[in-house]
Structure 1
Amino acid sequence: MELLLYILQFALHLMFAGGLWLLVKPLIEQHLWQWGKKIDLRMNLRMTLFGKKVSRVKKKMWLYRHLDNLLYFVHRKYEPGISVMRFAIRSVMLFTAVFLSGLLTLRELPGRMSFNNPFLEGIVLNDGAPVDGAWRLPLFLAVLSASIPYLRMRYTYAQRKVRGSYDLLDVIKIATKFTHLSADSILSKTSDLLAADNVLKSPLKLLSAAFANYSNEHELNEEAGRFAGAIGTTFAVEFVSDLLYCEKEGTRYLKNSLMMLNRSMEQQRETILTVKASSRDAISLGLYGNLIVLVSSVGTFMYMLKPDVYFKLQFETSVGLTFMMVIITGMFISFLISTILARPKLDYH
């Protein structure tokens, strides 16, 4: 009961920190927007001025470019520079809130714990001085919490890459109807006609702006390469190459090229669907089989040992915790592999 009160206290500290953030956020929003714009302008200026030395600039700003490329494909309302600053500020605020909340809570915990027979009493909290080195656990929780937005973004990015490889087929079908227009107009019209749930709608709009407003060829190639790299398929590279050729030489051969690309993607999609149908049972077993086995095994042990004894052995012994982490890690890896196999990218291979 006492432990639940400490958990509740920690949650209240987090709610207080969240309320403060909501009060401060409107005050810094305008400054954040201006700061993000300045950073993006400086990055583009360096890319333009350094030319062949652009790799040196990328190495210095690798973290910014990494986050920017992820948000470019994940954030539906992506804004160059601004989205990165917002993500960084939110991660820092989350880290600070969890760390301070955990530190304030642990300062009030008793300083000594006695470990008795796990089948009878378990852990007993004794009165005493504050815990020594109380910053270690809050720091660990803060780092873990601050990494969750990034891990969530990476997972979403991986999912959207796969989905984007299929959504590109819709883009090519629509773009074929506007090959009499310039490249930026083709992209703009296509983006407007795409469904709202198409993951390429926003990146296509940004690519259209790049074709309409680029100052040199290197800048256009960078933006086109980012679009193709976000999808990560050979079909995307072909589509971007056709657009770049169209920008230089005109739209004379664009319609035929897009129609051939559309035909190749349709054939590859049929092949993927056929292979997927033949291996559906094995994929489903990898997704849900381990979970079913785990639930049935845990249920059997709980029935045999009684729930209170099972929980003490599982969570209050080093062997139980070690095996639990190994099992969870194995299930996570199996789930990732099965998820990848369940819907592979729409690519040549």
Structure 2
Amino acid sequence: MELVFYIIRLGLHLLVVLGLWLMTKPLIETHLRHLGQKIDFRMKLRKSIVGQRVSRIQKKMWLYRHLDDLLYFAQRNYEPGISVMRFAMRSGFLLLAVFLSSLLTLKELPGQLSFENPFLEGISFSGRENVEGAWRLPLFLAVIAASIPYLRMRYVYAQRKVRGSYDLLDVIKIAAKFTHLSVDAVLSRTTDFLTEDNVLKAPLRLLGAAFANYSNEMELNEEAERFTAAIGTTFAVEFVADLLYCEKEGTRYLKSSLLTLNRSMEQQRETIMTVKAGSRDAISLGLYGNLVVLVSSVGTFMFMLKPDVYFKLQFETPVGLAFFMVIIFGLFVSFIISTILARPKLDYH
């Protein structure tokens, strides 16, 4: 029971830090926005100056580019430069908040937790002592907590990447109606007619802005490659290639090219839906079957051994920890594979 009180105290510490964050956030947001815009402007300026030597800049700013490419597709309200700085600040604040809160809570804990015979005495607290290396556990917890936003962003990115391959079909259908306009106008009008739940709405708006305001061909090609890489399908490559060709030669043949691409995507989607319908039961079993077995097995063991004994054997013995990690890893791999099979990307393969 005493351990529960310390967990509650940790939560209260985190609540206090959250309150401080909400108080200082409006003051930091303005400076953060200015800094993000400044960094993005300098990167674009350097690219326009150095030309082909831009790879040297990309190697120096690889982490910034990596986060920027993920946020470009994973965040609805993406803003060049600003989104990266905002994400970095939130992750850094989460790291600091969890570290300080857990460190303060750990200082208030008794010196050690002693585990006796789990079948007789269970867990007991010893007297209060100075804890050596008290920063190690808080730092470990802080690193785990700070990695959660990044892992969540990767998951959202992967989900939106698959969904974007299907939403591209709507983009092509709408764009085919405005082929009498210039390429930037085609993209602008298409963006206006897309629904808010279309994941390509923001990237398409940025692509249209690139066609309207590019200063050199390298800048346009880079933004076009970024759009195709975000979706990651052959259909996206064909769509952007048609736009780049029409930017140079005019939009005379754009309508027929988009209609042909639309028919190919429709046929491929029907093929995917047919294959998916035939393997639906196996996919559902992979998604939920293992989890149901795990929960029922753990519940049975806890009922037979009592919770205190089960947690002692599971988490305080090398064999128990090893099996637990193997099971969790297996569930994770099974979930990822089943998720991919549940809705494959709309592509030729």
| TM-score grouping bracket, smaller chain normalisation | over 0.9
- Give 1:187's aligned residue: 187
CA distance in 1, matches of 2:102, 2:298: 32
CA shift at 1:310, angstroms? 2.8
Letter matched to residue 37 of structure 1: Q
Tell me if 1:12 matches 2:12. Answer: yes
- Give 1:99's aligned residue: 99
Count of paired positions: 349
CA distance in 1, matches of 2:15, 2:184: 47
CA contact (8 A) 1:174 1:190 kept: yes
The SS at the match of 2:125 is strand
* 1:175-254 correspondence runs (5 A): 175-254=175-254
The SS at the match of 1:103 is helix
User: TM-score with structure 2 length normalisation?
Assistant: 0.97
Deviates more, 1:73-82 or 1:318-327: 318-327
Letter matched to residue 78 of structure 1: Y
The SS at the match of 1:129 is coil
The SS at the match of 1:287 is helix
* 1:12-31 correspondence runs (5 A): 12-31=12-31
The SS at the match of 2:108 is coil
String of CA shifts for 1:116-175, please: whole Å, max 9, x gaps. 111222221112322110000000000000000000000000000000000000000000
- Give 1:81's aligned residue: 81
- Give 1:124's aligned residue: 124
- Give 2:276's aligned residue: 276
CA contact (8 A) 2:122 2:308 kept: no
- Give 1:266's aligned residue: 266
CA shift at 1:4, angstroms? 1.0
Letter matched to residue 281 of structure 1: D
- Give 1:137's aligned residue: 137
CA shift at 1:29, angstroms? 1.1
CA contact (8 A) 2:118 2:308 kept: no
CA distance in 1, matches of 2:184, 2:320: 60
String of CA shifts for 1:42-96, please: whole Å, max 9, x gaps. 1101111111111111111000001001111111111100000000000000000
CA contact (8 A) 1:111 1:132 kept: no
CA contact (8 A) 2:176 2:258 kept: yes
The SS at the match of 1:348 is coil
CA distance in 1, matches of 2:97, 2:308: 34
CA contact (8 A) 2:167 2:198 kept: yes
CA shift at 1:308, angstroms? 4.1
The SS at the match of 2:79 is coil
CA distance in 1, matches of 2:84, 2:304: 52
The SS at the match of 1:107 is helix
CA contact (8 A) 1:94 1:146 kept: yes
CA distance in 1, matches of 2:74, 2:287: 25
Deviates more, 1:108-117 or 1:189-198: 108-117
CA distance in 2, matches of 1:95, 1:304: 39
Tell me if 1:166 matches 2:166. Answer: yes
Deviates more, 1:43-52 or 1:108-117: 108-117
Deviates more, 1:187-196 or 1:301-310: 301-310
Tell me if 1:299 matches 2:299. Answer: yes
CA distance in 2, matches of 1:77, 1:109: 43
- Give 2:63's aligned residue: 63
Letter matched to residue 323 of structure 2: F
CA distance in 1, matches of 2:116, 2:251: 80
Q: Which runs of 4+ in 1 moved over 4 A?
A: none
CA shift at 1:285, angstroms? 1.3
The SS at the match of 2:109 is coil
Deviates more, 1:333-342 or 1:103-112: 103-112
- Give 1:255's aligned residue: 255
User: TM-score with structure 1 length normalisation?
Assistant: 0.97
- Give 2:110's aligned residue: 110
Alignment RMSD: 1.2
- Give 2:155's aligned residue: 155
Unaligned runs of 5+ in 2: none
Unaligned runs of 5+ in 1: none
CA distance in 1, matches of 2:101, 2:157: 31
Change (3 A) 1:269 1:82: same
String of CA shifts for 1:187-223, please: whole Å, max 9, x gaps. 0110110111000011111111111111111000000
